[in-house]
Amino acid sequence: MAAPRRKVWQRPVEAAAPATGADAEVTLLRDIAHAILRAERPEEAFQFALDRAAPVVGAALASVFLLDGASELMRLTAAYGWPDRWRPWLGDMRVRIGFGPSGEAVAERRNIEVPDVFADRSLEDWQEVAGELGFRALVSLPLVTNRRVEGAATFYFVDAGMPAPRVRALLRAVADLMAVMVEQGSLRDRLRRAEAALEELAAAPSPEEPA
């Protein structure tokens, strides 16, 4: 059996000194906005966003899933707080649209909140994972752009219960910024393709002028 691929998670900018109190939310959104502008790839900005957002909202773990091409699957793009023993397999993790909280968030284009995984019979398959990873509640938010839903950001919490209104609003703002990351990454890819086409055109020999 081939060894599983290992994905190296990178950070686009250094994290600022952690803010406290009411300034934490403002600092968080400011830093994520800066990461959008400075990261060369969306994956780098996603990882930075999770590293900054999860502690502020009190999440023990967090994940970002993006659509994997034209398939019905989403691939794990960034992860926060997952145990080291899971790391070798994170790059191969896939979630089907419409299945599980993250898949439902994308399929239904709405936030999915699970106050207690162990009290929801529809999530029996998740209870073993929740027990191993140590979370009880989760919130999954769709990443909605002007074109479509591009994926989902999911935050996992140790204690059961619904997020406070302020936390819910902050999570929505973070998800909106992540959607901007996807759109900006797409625009950068289109720009690179256009630049490559121009370079190829400039290198091509000029056609002979008619006599």
Spatial distance between the Cα atoms of 30 and 185, rounded to a whole number of angstroms? 19
pLDDT at 42: 74
pTM listed for this prediction = 0.77
Answer whether 135's CB lies under 8 Å from 158's CB: yes
Q: If you average pLDDT over residues 82-110, what whole number do you get?
A: 88
Contacts of 65 (CB under 8 A, 6+ apart): 74, 75, 76, 77, 95, 102, 106, 151, 152, 153, 154
Spatial distance between the Cα atoms of 127 and 136, rounded to a whole number of angstroms? 9
Task: Report in angstroms the alpha-carbon separations of 116 from 6, 16, 39, 124, 146.
Answer: 32, 33, 35, 11, 32
Domains present along the chain, CATH in parentheses: 43-187 (3.30.450.40)
pLDDT, greater one: 192 or 142: 142
Beta strands 112-114 and 94-96 are unpaired
pLDDT band at 206 (very low <50, low <70, confident <90, very high): low
User: What's the gap between Cα 106 and its chain centre?
Assistant: 12
Q: Can you give the three-state secondary structure of 159-203, one letter per residue? A: CCCCCCHHHHHHHHHHHHHHHHHHHHHHHHHHHHHHHHHHHHHHH
- The mean pLDDT of the chain is 80
Spatial distance between the Cα atoms of 95 and 82, rounded to a whole number of angstroms? 16
Answer whether 56's CB lies under 8 Å from 16's CB: no
Q: What confidence tens digit (pLDDT) does each residue in 31-44 have? A: 888 887 777 777 78
